[in-house]
Homo-oligomer: A and B are copies of this chain.
Amino acid sequence: MNTRGNDNLPSNRPPTQRDLDPHLRRYAQRTVGMTASEIRALFAVASRPEVVSLAGGMPYLPALPLDSLADELAQMVSSEGMAALQYGSAQGTAQLREQICEVMALEGVRAHADDVTVTVGSQMALDMVTRIFCDPGDVVLAEAPSYVGALTTFASYQAQVVQVAMDDDGLVPGKLEAALDALAAQGRTPKFLYTIPNFHNPAGVTMAVQRRGEVLRLCAEHRVLVVEDNPYGLLGFEGKIYPAMRASDPDNVVYLGSFSKTFAPGLRVGWALAPHAVREKLVLAAESATLCPPAFTQFVVSRYLAQHDWKGQVKIYQEVYRERRDAMLAALAQHLPPGCTWTHPTGGFYVWLTVPEGLDTKAMLPRAVTERVAYVPGTAFYADGLGSRQMRLSFCYPTSERIVEGVRRLAAVLEGELELQRTFGSVRPRTVFGPQSPSPDTA
């Protein structure tokens, strides 16, 4: 029955991409925007033991007490297995949605469980929000830089991303206002502002509290919804929990949360808290996407929250990550060549590093991997190819000793690149390994 293999292949012509994929002309327009992310290519590299990966954002799970978890889960299956293994509600279990409201209350959020939708990680929440709001060509505002997974989702819905500058206090309200005014002058209203106010991925900065009010006011004035993505909010290093933007504007903020960083990402349990009418649409969208989120992982999280000292576990995570953040900042100060600058995160997983002018973090990645250190090039976090002088460094997963060694290797790579630059002038782009999105600024 294999009648299709070569049906696009005239004779006397070398094969093209079309010949290699007989389905090529069938794909939807949106697949044009679906390209492999730089982070994805790096996962393979990062798994080699000799490489110090400062690339991935994997939580440090050895901090979890596996044996007591195993006992709790066995009890859960014995006593609640019939429900945990069965189809469930598209919105998520009532018990977990109640518990999620208690978690969000730590950030000043007053919410009803009926307005929570449980999703397969907060990535799915973001996908559903984009699905219900974005037609092709619609504008979404995001910080510059922004989370690569969000940019990928926006691209898959053919949304146009306009990125707005940040400084050490997060998104700059004046720049946001300028962007809103410029779009308004074109007759365009963005569908929403996507923001990560706390311990930003990848920038490592936190939006100042008084700015949150300004950002909310600007968005309300311009009738732009706010999508507040807050996976790291409880992972501050200074004993401080910032108030959620949702806490002061329940009607114009969709809040996205996750247990991936406070518990474990392999369960893929996240959520969206949305104004009631939006929540109804979210549930319908989620139902068409997966029928329902896994009841099983929801029962696991519910039991963990109920039976375990989960806040104590968050404290353990905080302390692990603070120690590693300290190790990374100290190593950067000690080893990096002059001309490098970086952010000083007070929580979360990431430092955002800017290298001297003339260097290109994407072009130098193969050399870095050869030197057994990995990072994510800055271009991954921009929709428009900016970020060639930046990189994201993660301190969440490797030990402090490995982090110091990784930074040492990175410093040697940067020294080598600067030496090349002094000898031959500005470094030229070269072929990079693995699947890459095309980027206009690799010069």
Contact = CB atoms under 8 A, between A and B. Distances in A.
A97 interface: no
Contacts of A275: 22-23
A108 interface: no
B28 A84 contact: no
Contact of A135 (B28, B88, B155): B28
Contacts of A300: 296
A149 interface: yes
A94 interface: no
Nearest to A250: B2
Chain A at the B interface: SS class: helix
Interface in A349-402: none
- The copy count of this chain in the complex is 2
A160 interface: no
A185 interface: no
A342 interface: no
Tell me which of A89, A121, A220, A296 has the highest count of chain B C-beta atoms within 10 A of its own C-beta.
A296
A141 to B, nearest CB: 14
A198 interface: no
Contacts of A296: 264, 266-268, 296-297, 300
A31 B132 contact: yes
A132 to B, nearest CB: 5
A27 interface: yes
B28 A291 contact: no
A123 B138 CA distance: 27
A252 B1 contact: yes
Contacts of A73: 70, 73-74, 77
A217 interface: yes
Interface stretch (A60-68, A308-316, A318-326, A332-340): A60-68
A265 B90 CA distance: 13
Given A1-B216, A135-B28, A62 B74 contact: no
A133 B89 contact: no
A105 interface: no
Contact of A58 (B87, B260, B265, B288): B87
B4 A288 contact: no
Interface stretch (A33-41, A167-175, A416-424): A33-41
B70 A74 contact: yes
Tell me which of A26, A30, A217 has the highest count of chain B C-beta atoms within 10 A of its own C-beta.
A26
- The 8 A-B pairs with the shortest beta carbon distances in the complex, nearest first, are A21-B277, A85-B264, A266-B295, A74-B74, A1-B249, A70-B77, A85-B266, A268-B294
